[in-house]
Amino acid sequence: MDTLAVLLREPEQLELSRLALSAPSDSDIIVDIRWSGISTGTERLLWSGQMPPFPGMGYPLVPGYESVGVVAQAGPDSGRRVGENVFVPGARCFGPVRGLFGGAARRLVTGGDRVTPLPEGLDRDGVLLALAATAQHALAGGPLPELVVGHGVLGRLLARLIRAQGGAPTVWETNPARADGADYPVLHPDADTRRDYNGVIDASGDANILDTLVGRIARGAEIILAGFYHERLSFAFPPAFMKEARIRIAAEWKPADITTVNTLLATGALKLDGLITHQAEPAQATAAYRTAFTDPACLKMVLDWRHTA
C-alpha cells in the first residue's frame, strides 16, 4: 500500500512523492485525507531550515499535523468505524521517511486513539482544530488575557476563544491588511495608549517583543508566549522586576484542550469560518507552501486532496 505525500527533502526542497505506507495493525485505522493545513509556525521553520533540533527531527520528512479525512478501514481494536470524519494530528507511517508530523498525504495509517471525530458539519475548517486547541492550551493556564499580540490565524483564534469564554480582548496588529474581519478592537500598537493590561498573550512570534509588553502590563500581570521563537528571547530585568511580571510559555495542546474546543464548536460559542484564505491542489504544493510562508495576505493555506489519486 502506498500514497502520494508532500515530501520535504531538505530546506526549501519540496515535492509531491509516492511513498510506501506501513501495514496497519489491529489498533490502527486507514484514513483517506480530504484536506491538510499548512502551519506558518513550526512548518515554516522546517521549510526554511531554522527549526531547532528536536528528537526525531531531520530530512527527508513529510510535514503536516492538521489533516481531516474519512476512515476507510478500521482495525478491530481501533475504537473507530468506517465512514467517520476525523481530525488527524499527523502520522508516522512512511517507513524510513521521517514522519515527525506526517499529515500532508492522501492516505494515512495511524492509531485509532490518535484521531478526533469532527463535530457535525465541520469539513475543511476542521484542519484548524489543532491550532484552536493550541490556542486554548495557552489560555487554560490562568485568567483570560486582555491583549492579544498578532492578528494572524492564531491571534484570531485566541481572540475568538477569549470572547467565547467571557473575555473582551484587544488585538495589536502592525499590518493594515490583517486588521479586518474582527468584532473586537484591532489596533496598531502605537495607537493604543493603555499601560495597565492585566494579561497579554503574544501570537506574533517576535523574539524582541518582551520589553514592549512589560511596558504595557499592570503590576503582577502575566505575559504568555504562545508563538514559536527560533531566536533567543531576552528582556531588560529592572522594568520587569518593578512590575513583578510573570512570563509563561505555552507548548502543544493536550486532549482536554481538544475537548474544550469541540464543546465550544458544538454550542456555537466558537466559529472557525473566515480563517482559511487560500487553498491549492497537492500538485501545486511547492507554490502553495511558499505562498503560505511568504504572503502576508495568506492567513491559512490548505491542500485539497479529494481529487488526488
User: Which residues 6+ apart lie within 8 Å of 234 measured at CB?
Assistant: 210
Q: Average per-residue pLDDT in the chain?
A: 94
Q: What is the pLDDT of residue 42?
A: 81
Task: For residue range 208-237, list pLDDT tens digits in order.
Answer: 999 999 999 999 999 999 988 888 999 999
278-280 and 301-304 strand pairing: parallel
Q: Phi, psi (5° rounding) for residue 55? A: -55, 130
* Domains identified in the chain and CATH numbers: 2-122+276-304 (3.90.180.10), 131-249 (3.40.50.720)
Q: Say yes or no to pLDDT of 270 above 70.
A: yes
Tell me what pLDDT residue 141 has.
Answer: 79
pLDDT of 45 reads 84
In Å, what is the CA distance from 35 to each residue of 103, 104, 126, 275? 10, 8, 9, 15
* Cα dihedral 205, 211, 212, 217 sign: positive
What's the rounded Cα separation, in Å, for the pair 115 and 108? Answer: 11
Question: Using CA atoms, how far apart are residues 64 and 89, in angstroms rounded to an integer?
Answer: 8
Query: For residue 99, what pLDDT is reported?
Result: 64
Task: Give how far Cα 82 sits from Cα of 26, 33, 70, Å.
Answer: 14, 13, 8
User: What is the model's pTM?
Assistant: 0.92
**Nearest alpha carbon to residue 292 among 50, 19, 41, 11:** 41
74-87 pLDDT, tens digit each: 999 999 999 999 99
Please state the rounded mean pLDDT for residues 26-52: 91
Mind listing the pLDDT tens digit for each residue in 183-215?
999 999 999 999 999 999 999 989 999 999 999
